[in-house]
C-alpha cells in the first residue's frame, strides 16, 4: 500500500482534470461531467484520510463520502434537468449563448 501522499497526488490530478473539463469546454453537459469528477476526487481524498488517519469511534470520513455521493447525484439530476430546460428554449447547449441578462 503506497503512502498517503501518493493517494493525495492522484486525487489532486483527478480534481484538476475535472477542473480542466469544467473550464475549457463550451457544452453544458461537459461542464457537469467536470463537476462530477471534482466531487469524486474530493471523495477519494476523504476516504484516503480516513484510512490513514487515527481511527475514531465513528467512521467519519466514510460518512462524509456517503452523503457527498448522494448530494452529487441529486445535483447531477437537477443540473441535467436545467440543461434540458434551456435546450428546449434556446435550441443550443453552448453556454456562451446564455447571455440574455448581459449588460
Partner 1 sequence: MNSVAFILIAILTLAAALAAASLPKLIHAALSFAVTFVGVAAFFFLLGAEFIGLVQVFVYIGAVAVLIVFTILLTRRDAGKDRGFNWGGVVIAIAVFGGLLWAILHTPAVSIAAPNIEALTVKRIGEALMTSYVWPLQCVGVLLTAALIGALILVMEEKR
The residues that bridge with 27 in the sheet, in sequence order, are 94
Q: Does 42 bind partner 1 (CB under 8 A)?
A: no
Q: What string marks each residue from 13 to 32 as x (binds partner 1 by CB under 8 A) or -? A: xxxxxxxxxxxxxxx-xx-x
Cell numbers at 50, concatenated? 480516513
Q: Does 47 bind partner 1 (CB under 8 A)?
A: yes
d(CA 83, CA 29): 7
Helix (H, G, I), strand (E, B) or coil at 1: coil
Q: Does 12 bind partner 1 (CB under 8 A)?
A: yes
Number of residues that bind partner 1 (CB under 8 A): 71
The residues that bridge with 94 in the sheet, in sequence order, are 27
Q: Does 51 bind partner 1 (CB under 8 A)?
A: yes
Amino acid at each position: 500500500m503506497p503512502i498517503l501522499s501518493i493517494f493525495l497526488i492522484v486525487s489532486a490530478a483527478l480534481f484538476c482534470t475535472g477542473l480542466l473539463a469544467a473550464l475549457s469546454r463550451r457544452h453544458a453537459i461537459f461542464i457537469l461531467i467536470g463537476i462530477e469528477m471534482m466531487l469524486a476526487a474530493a471523495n477519494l481524498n476523504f476516504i484516503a484520510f480516513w484510512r490513514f488517519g487515527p481511527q475514531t469511534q465513528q467512521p467519519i470520513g466514510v460518512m462524509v463520502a456517503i452523503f457527498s455521493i448522494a448530494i452529487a447525484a441529486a445535483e447531477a439530476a437537477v443540473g441535467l434537468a436545467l440543461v434540458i430546460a434551456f435546450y428546449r428554449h434556446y435550441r443550443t447547449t453552448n453556454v456562451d449563448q446564455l447571455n440574455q441578462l448581459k449588460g
